């Protein structure tokens, strides 16, 4: 059963994808295409979607969910991480610690050349590393998740959740 943010995220991915695909067809890199597409999409649909890009992923940030896409920056040998991130979510949830990660879900659009990882948006990213986790929860996360700097944490219901768990040791 999909929760409502997942349904909204999937609808959004379907409506923004044609804009991205058009710029890619014109020969732009995926990350450039995403910036151009989101500008145009915001203008057409009167929306205010933000774009944030790192070394190998680009994120579309709305008020209640985030959509992540893999790409390969020319200065970086790594590629993406969305699929690893999704698998980490399944494994951590299976271990009973899913509440320590922001929820995510995989979006595949038939015929599209890229897949999307949707994640619930959480607040307070980068503000603090105080998590209010138990020692056992801290231990579990330290053992299984890498890259734990404060820009990869947010807050949900007063407790820390991780928003970037692509780098994992599960």
Give the torsion sign (CA, 94, 100, 105, 106).
Answer: negative
Q: Among all residues, whose Cβ is closest to ligand ADP? A: 54
Shortest distance, CB of residue 110 to ligand ADP, whole angstroms? 25
Positions 102 through 161 that interact with Mg ion (CB under 5 A) = 152
| Vertex 127: Cα angle to 123 and 133 (nearest 5) | 80
Considering only 49, 164, 167, 168, the residue that binds Mg ion (CB under 5 A) is 164
Extract long-range pairs of 3-6: CB within 8 Å, 24+ residues apart: 3/103, 5/64, 5/65, 5/118, 5/120, 5/121, 6/65, 6/105, 6/118
Which of 12-20, 32-40, 54-62, 133-141 is the region at the interface with ligand ADP (rule: CB under 6 A)? 54-62
If you search the block for the tokens 């969305």, which residue do you land on?
A: 82
Q: Check: CB of residue 42 under 8 Å from CB of residue 34.
A: no
- Residue 57 interacts, among Mg ion, ligand ADP, none and using kind-specific CB cut-offs from 5 to 8 Å, with ligand ADP
Instruction: Give contact residues for Mg ion (rule: CB under 5 A).
Output: 152, 164
Instruction: Give contact residues for ligand ADP (rule: CB under 6 A).
Output: 52, 54, 57, 59, 61, 66, 68, 81, 102, 119, 121-122, 125, 151-152, 154, 163-164, 166
């Amino acid at each position: 059963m999909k929760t409502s943010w997942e349904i909204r995220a999937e609808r959004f991915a379907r409506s923004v994808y044609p804009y991205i695909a058009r710029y890619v067809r014109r020969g732009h890199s995926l990350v450039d295409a995403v910036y151009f597409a989101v500008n145009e999409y915001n203008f057409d649909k009167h929306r205010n979607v933000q774009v944030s890009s790192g070394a190998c992923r680009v994120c579309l940030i709305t008020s209640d969910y985030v959509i992540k896409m893999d790409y390969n920056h020319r200065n970086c040998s790594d590629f993406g991480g969305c699929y690893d991130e999704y698998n980490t979510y399944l494994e951590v949830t299976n271990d009973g610690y899913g509440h320590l990660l922001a929820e995510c879900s995989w979006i595949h659009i038939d015929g599209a050349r890229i897949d999307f990882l949707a994640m619930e948006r959480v607040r307070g990213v980068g503000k603090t590393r105080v998590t209010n986790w138990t020692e056992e929860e801290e231990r579990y996360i330290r053992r299984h998740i890498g890259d734990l700097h404060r820009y990869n944490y947010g807050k949900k219901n007063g407790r820390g959740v991780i928003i970037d768990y692509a780098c994992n040791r599960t």
